[in-house]
Structure 1
Amino acid sequence: MIKVPYSLTELDLMAKDYYKVIEKEFDIRDQLQKWPNDELKPVMTFLEANLDTVMIGRPDQLEIIMTSLKASIDTAKQLYITNHPTKTDGSATKDSDAKAWFKAQIFQIFNYDNNSKSFISKNKGKLAYDHAAILNMNTCPYCNANFTFTIKSKKLKSRPQFDHFFNKGRHPYLALSFYNLIPSCALCNSGALKGQKEFTLKKNIHPFLESIENTYEFRTKVDAVDFLVSKKNFTLEMVLCNSKKDTDPDVIKAKGNLEIFALNDRYSYHKDIAESVIRNAHIYCNSTIKDLYETFEIKGKKIFTSEQEIKELVIGNYLDPLNSHKRIHSKLVRDIADEFGLTV
C-alpha cells in the first residue's frame, strides 16, 4: 500500500551496509566455494559467481537470478531422485522429497531461520532487530493498518516480521537478500493472507519500489451535509483514481495487493476514522485553517509553521505521503481529507 521512505539510491547504500554485516556473520561465499561435487554443485557455482547480486541486487535483478537458476535447480532435483531412488524407509523418492532436500541444503547456507545461528535467532535476534531498526518502518507497508515498531529493551522486545517478497520456500537462495526482506505485520505475513503466495513484479507492488498512491484512493462518495445532518450511511472503499484504467500495469499490480491483503474488507471496519475526518474537515475548512495560521499566536509568535501543520493536527495524521510510514491509517485519512477539501 505505501512505499518505504527511501530512494533506490539510499536503499542501495543500505543494502551494501547490510551485506557487510551478513558477510561478517555468515561464511556464505566460503560454503558455496567448498560445496562438494554433488547434484547441487552447478547451482552453488552459479550462486557463488553471482553472490553480490543475490544479496544486494534490486528486485528486477533478483527475478533474473530466479529465471537463470530454474533449469539448473530442476536438473539437480531430478538427479537427486535418480541417485536416491528410495528413502531410508524403503519408499520411492518423490518430487516433494527432492524439493525438501533442495531447500534444506540451501537453507544451510542462506540461513534465515534454519537454526539458533540463523539471521533471526543469532545473538538473541540482534541481526534481525538491527536490520528492522535501520529500515525504521513504524507501520506495515502492505496494509498501513498495523504498527511495526522495533523495540528492544529489558521489558519489551518487538519488531516487524520479514516477509519474503519472492517466496523463500521456492527460492531459498533469496532468503537473506536485502530487497527480499519486507518489514511487515504478522497479519499480512500470515498464511491467511500472503503466506506462501508467489509474488512477481508484474502482478504485485514491491514496497521498496512503489505504492498505490495515485492508483487507488479511499472514497466514501457521500455528501458532507447528507452525512452530518441526515446521518446518511456510506461505504468506505478503495476505488481507482480518475485517470486510471483496469488495464494499466500499475493498476494490475495494485489490485493484486489489494486482493491478497484483503484491504477493502479490513478497512471496512475503520469507517469511524473516515467519519471523524469528515466532521473535522467540515468544521475546520480551509478558510478557518488559514485564519488559525495567521492569527493564532503566543506572545506575538506564531505557534504553527504552516497551514499543513494545522491540517495534520485537525485530522490527526500526516498529509505528506513521504510520512505515511510513521503512523497507521495515514493513507486512509489523507484520502478522505482530500475528498472533503482538506488538501496538502
Structure 2
Amino acid sequence: MVNLNLNDVAANNHFKALKDCLQNRIKKILKNGVVKSKTKYLPNNDLKIYLNYLLIDDNLKQLIIARPESITEIISFTKNRYGSFLTKNHPSNIILNNLFVKSCYDDTKVFSKHDFIKTIDIDTCPYCNRSYIYYLSKNKEIKPEIDHFFPKSKYPFLAMSFYNLIPSCQTCNGFGGKEEKDPLKEDLINPYLLKSSDFSFTFEPISSRIISTLLDKNSIKVKIIKNIPGHLDVFKLKELYELHSDHVVELIFKSKIKYSDTYRAYLEKYKDKGLEFSDNEIDRMILGNYATEEEIHKRPLTKLYQDIGKELGLIK
C-alpha cells in the first residue's frame, strides 16, 4: 500500500552497529553452543561452516544489508544448502534464533526499535495506510511495532536484515493479521518493492438503501479495484476499508457542491494580501489530506483520498 524508499546508507550504519555483537556471539556459540530450557544445543558441521562464514565481515554484511530482491535469493540458497535452518525447533534453527533474535533483536542495548523506526522516517503503516506508527521515546514505554517480513521463527538468519524489518501497525502485525505468515506462501510483496499504483480505490452507490441523510456512510461502498491478492487476504484490506465509507461520502459531497472550484477561487483572493498557496497546498486543503504520491505515508487513508479525489475531479 505504501512504498518504502531504499536507504543503503542507513542499512550500512545498521550493519556497523550490529557487527561486533553478532560476531562475538558467533564465537561463543562455536565454542559453547546455546542453552534453551535447560537443554544444551551444539552446532552441527553445516552450522559450523555457516557461522564461520559469517565471521568474515563482508559475508555478514551481505546478509544484513541485502536488498529485498536479494533476500529471496538468500532464502532459496539456504533452503537448498542448509534446509534444517528453516525447520522450526531443529537445533540449528534454535541456535540461529538465539544468535539473531534473542542475543540481538530482543536486546534493547544492542538494537533500539525506536531509533530504527526513526531512521525509516515513515508515519503510517506501509501494509494498510490506515494507522499511524507513531511511538514515544523509550522512557514513555510506547513499544513500536516492527514486522519481520520473512518471519523470524522460520528465517532466524534474516531477523536483523535491514530490509526485512518493516515498521507496521498493531492491526497488521498482530493476531489475525500477518503474524508469522510466510510471504512466499501468501504471495506478499515487500513494501520496499511495492508501488502506490499496485492499489487503487473507487466506490459504488448502494441504490437499494433508503438514504437517511446526504452524508449517510451506508449509501456507498468502498471498493479496491486494483490490488495484490495476498495483501488483500492477509491484511483484510477489503473488509477494513469498507468501514471507511464515511470519508468517501464527504468527498462526494464536496464534489456535488463544486467545493474545489469555490475554494480555489477563495484562496486566490489572498494573493493580494501576500498569502500565496501552492497548487499542492490548495489540493491538500481541498482534499483534507496529502495530495501527492510522495506524501502517501504521512497520514492515514491518504491513498484512498487521492484516488477518490481524482475520480471526483477534486484534484488532478
TM-score after normalising by structure 2: 0.83
From 42, 51, 65, give the equivalent of 2:60. 51
From 230, 233, 236, give the equivalent of 1:259. 233
CA–CA distance in structure 2, aligned partners of residues 202 and 58 of structure 1: 20
Are residues 1:15 and 2:22 paired?
no
Q: Offset of 1:330 from its aligned partner?
A: 0.7
Secondary structure, counterpart of 1:214 in structure 2: helix
Amino acid at match of 2:66: G
Go from structure 1 to structure 2 and tell me whether the alpha carbon gap of 1:65 and 1:274 turns closer, same or farther (over 3 Å shift).
same
Identity %: 26
Q: Provide the residue aligned with 1:233 in structure 2.
A: 219
Task: Report which of the two has the higher share of helix.
Answer: 2
Are residues 1:179 and 2:167 paired?
no
Count of aligned positions: 297
Secondary structure, counterpart of 1:182 in structure 2: strand
Go from structure 1 to structure 2 and tell me whether the alpha carbon gap of 1:283 and 1:22 turns closer, same or farther (over 3 Å shift).
farther
Are residues 1:72 and 2:81 paired?
yes
Q: Offset of 1:311 from its aligned partner?
A: 2.4
Go from structure 1 to structure 2 and tell me whether the alpha carbon gap of 1:71 and 1:327 turns closer, same or farther (over 3 Å shift).
same
Within a 5 Å distance, the mapping from 1:75-94 to structure 2 comes to none
CA contact 1:28–1:110 (8 Å) conserved in 2 = no
Are residues 1:208 and 2:192 paired?
yes
Q: Offset of 1:102 from its aligned partner?
A: 2.4
CA contact 1:140–1:148 (8 Å) conserved in 2 = yes
Q: Offset of 1:127 from its aligned partner?
A: 1.3
CA contact 2:215–2:246 (8 Å) conserved in 1 = no
CA–CA distance in structure 1, aligned partners of residues 88 and 278 of structure 2: 61
Go from structure 1 to structure 2 and tell me whether the alpha carbon gap of 1:41 and 1:290 turns closer, same or farther (over 3 Å shift).
same
Go from structure 1 to structure 2 and tell me whether the alpha carbon gap of 1:340 and 1:328 turns closer, same or farther (over 3 Å shift).
same
CA–CA distance in structure 2, aligned partners of residues 289 and 201 of structure 1: 49
CA contact 1:132–1:159 (8 Å) conserved in 2 = no
Go from structure 1 to structure 2 and tell me whether the alpha carbon gap of 1:96 and 1:158 turns closer, same or farther (over 3 Å shift).
closer
Q: Provide the residue aligned with 1:110 in structure 2.
A: 100
CA–CA distance in structure 1, aligned partners of residues 11 and 220 of structure 2: 45
Q: Provide the residue aligned with 1:292 in structure 2.
A: 266
Amino acid at match of 2:266: L
Go from structure 1 to structure 2 and tell me whether the alpha carbon gap of 1:207 and 1:186 turns closer, same or farther (over 3 Å shift).
same
Runs of 5+ consecutive residues of structure 2 not aligned to the other structure: 32-42
CA contact 1:110–1:176 (8 Å) conserved in 2 = yes
CA contact 1:318–1:327 (8 Å) conserved in 2 = yes
Per-residue Cα deviation, 1:93-123 (whole angstroms, up to 9, x for no partner): xx7642xx22320122213xx2xx6434423
CA–CA distance in structure 2, aligned partners of residues 56 and 230 of structure 1: 49
Are residues 1:135 and 2:125 paired?
no
From 172, 175, 184, give the equivalent of 1:188. 172
Q: Offset of 1:161 from its aligned partner?
A: 1.0
Go from structure 1 to structure 2 and tell me whether the alpha carbon gap of 1:170 and 1:126 turns closer, same or farther (over 3 Å shift).
closer
CA–CA distance in structure 1, aligned partners of residues 225 and 149 of structure 2: 25
Q: Provide the residue aligned with 2:287 in structure 1.
A: 315
* RMSD of aligned residue pairs (Cα, Å): 3.0
CA contact 1:33–1:44 (8 Å) conserved in 2 = no
Are residues 1:63 and 2:72 paired?
yes
Q: Provide the residue aligned with 1:3 in structure 2.
A: 3
Go from structure 1 to structure 2 and tell me whether the alpha carbon gap of 1:196 and 1:179 turns closer, same or farther (over 3 Å shift).
same
Go from structure 1 to structure 2 and tell me whether the alpha carbon gap of 1:96 and 1:312 turns closer, same or farther (over 3 Å shift).
closer
Per-residue Cα deviation, 1:247-266 (whole angstroms, up to 9, x for no partner): xxxx6xx2211211000101
Amino acid at match of 1:236: V
Q: Offset of 1:315 from its aligned partner?
A: 2.4
From 296, 310, 313, give the equivalent of 1:338. 310
TM-score after normalising by structure 1: 0.76
CA contact 2:123–2:133 (8 Å) conserved in 1 = yes
Secondary structure, counterpart of 2:200 in structure 1: strand
